Protein backbone atom coordinates (compact mmCIF):
# COMPACT_ATOMS: atom_id res chain seq x y z
CA UNK A 1 0.00 0.00 0.00
CA UNK A 2 1.26 3.45 -0.90
CA UNK A 3 2.04 5.75 2.02
CA UNK A 4 2.99 9.29 0.89
CA UNK A 5 4.43 9.95 4.34
CA UNK A 6 6.74 6.93 4.40
CA UNK A 7 10.06 8.52 5.32
CA UNK A 8 11.94 5.37 4.34
CA UNK A 9 11.35 6.16 0.66
CA UNK A 10 12.79 8.98 -1.38
CA UNK A 11 10.54 11.39 -3.30
CA UNK A 12 11.70 9.63 -6.47
CA UNK A 13 10.60 6.21 -5.15
CA UNK A 14 7.25 7.62 -4.03
CA UNK A 15 6.78 9.32 -7.41
CA UNK A 16 7.22 6.06 -9.29
CA UNK A 17 4.83 4.25 -6.96
CA UNK A 18 2.21 6.84 -7.78
CA UNK A 19 2.92 6.72 -11.51
CA UNK A 20 2.49 2.94 -11.49
CA UNK A 21 -0.71 3.00 -9.41
CA UNK A 22 -2.59 6.18 -10.30
CA UNK A 23 -5.13 6.62 -13.06
CA UNK A 24 -3.25 6.17 -16.35
CA UNK A 25 -4.94 9.14 -18.05
CA UNK A 26 -3.99 11.47 -15.20
CA UNK A 27 -0.39 10.29 -15.27
CA UNK A 28 -0.22 10.78 -19.04
CA UNK A 29 -1.68 14.28 -18.71
CA UNK A 30 0.82 15.25 -16.02
CA UNK A 31 3.79 13.77 -17.89
CA UNK A 32 2.71 15.67 -21.01
CA UNK A 33 2.76 18.85 -18.90
CA UNK A 34 6.23 17.97 -17.60
CA UNK A 35 7.60 17.39 -21.09
CA UNK A 36 6.00 20.57 -22.41
CA UNK A 37 7.67 22.56 -19.64
CA UNK A 38 10.97 20.78 -20.28
CA UNK A 39 10.76 21.66 -23.99
CA UNK A 40 10.04 25.30 -23.14
CA UNK A 41 13.00 25.42 -20.76
CA UNK A 42 15.21 23.79 -23.43
CA UNK A 43 14.21 26.49 -25.93
CA UNK A 44 14.92 29.24 -23.41
CA UNK A 45 18.24 27.69 -22.41
CA UNK A 46 19.29 27.44 -26.06
CA UNK A 47 18.37 31.10 -26.56
CA UNK A 48 20.48 32.10 -23.56
CA UNK A 49 23.49 29.82 -24.02
CA UNK A 50 23.45 28.68 -27.65
CA UNK A 51 26.39 26.41 -28.37
CA UNK A 52 27.53 26.60 -24.73
CA UNK A 53 24.38 24.91 -23.40
CA UNK A 54 25.85 21.43 -22.99
CA UNK A 55 28.86 22.87 -21.19
CA UNK A 56 26.57 24.79 -18.81
CA UNK A 57 24.49 21.64 -18.19
CA UNK A 58 27.62 19.69 -17.27
CA UNK A 59 28.84 22.51 -15.01
CA UNK A 60 25.60 22.43 -13.04
CA UNK A 61 25.63 18.64 -12.92
CA UNK A 62 29.12 18.45 -11.46
CA UNK A 63 29.55 21.74 -9.59
CA UNK A 64 26.09 22.15 -8.09
CA UNK A 65 25.04 18.56 -7.51
CA UNK A 66 23.47 19.26 -4.09
CA UNK A 67 21.31 22.03 -5.51
CA UNK A 68 20.43 19.84 -8.49
CA UNK A 69 19.38 16.99 -6.20
CA UNK A 70 17.18 19.35 -4.16
CA UNK A 71 15.51 20.64 -7.33
CA UNK A 72 14.92 17.10 -8.57
CA UNK A 73 13.32 16.10 -5.26
CA UNK A 74 11.11 19.21 -5.34
CA UNK A 75 10.15 18.39 -8.91
CA UNK A 76 9.21 14.80 -8.04
CA UNK A 77 7.13 16.04 -5.09
CA UNK A 78 5.37 18.72 -7.14
CA UNK A 79 4.55 16.33 -9.97
CA UNK A 80 3.44 13.63 -7.53
CA UNK A 81 1.17 16.13 -5.77
CA UNK A 82 -0.40 17.16 -9.08
CA UNK A 83 -1.19 13.54 -9.93
CA UNK A 84 -2.55 12.77 -6.47
CA UNK A 85 -4.72 15.90 -6.43
CA UNK A 86 -6.32 15.00 -9.74
CA UNK A 87 -6.62 11.32 -8.78
CA UNK A 88 -8.93 12.02 -5.82
- Which of 26, 39, 30, 28 is closest to 78 using CA atoms? 30
pLDDT tens digits for range 39-64: 999 999 999 999 999 999 999 999 99
pLDDT at residue number 86: 86
**Band (1; pLDDT cuts 50, 70, 90):** very low
Distance between CA 68 and CA 88 in Å, rounded?
30
What are the residue boundaries of the structural domains of the chain, listed by start?
23-87
CB atoms within 10 A of CB 14: 19
Amino acid sequence: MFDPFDEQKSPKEKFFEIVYNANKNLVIEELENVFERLAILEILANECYGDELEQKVMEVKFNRSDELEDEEFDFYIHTMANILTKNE
